[in-house]
Amino acid sequence: SACFCGAKSPEGSEKMKERILKIKINLDNAAFDSGHENVELRDILQDMADRLFIGQDNGFVKDSNGNYCGWYKIVNEEAENER
């Protein structure tokens, strides 16, 4: 089911907007080579969730070696017509 989370219905030419969490995590570094990439991802996503909880709606993420490996941000975008 589609969630338009507070977006207005399309009346006339008004376009619907939706808030989206965008995430990019690069898995091509040593922290993900151990064969435990699922643990590494869990830790990164938990840190991200903690930061979102306190209101930090964008930021860079680091792996367990302290290297930057991605980012996340909440953005407002035009909703697609079909899902």
**Which tens digits make up the pLDDT trace of 41-80?**
999 999 999 999 999 999 999 999 999 999 999 999 988 7
Q: How far apart are CA 42 and CA 69, in angstroms?
A: 14
Beta-carbon contacts of residue 23 (< 8 Å; ≥ 6 apart):
48, 70, 71, 72
Nearest CA to 43 out of 58, 51, 22, 7 is that of: 51
Residue 76: other Cβ atoms inside 10 A: 10
Asked if pLDDT for residue 81 goes beyond 80, the answer is no
Q: What is the C-alpha to C-alpha distance for residues 76 and 58, in angstroms, rounded to an integer?
A: 13
Q: Write down the pTM of the prediction.
A: 0.73
74, containing H or E segment: strand 68-78
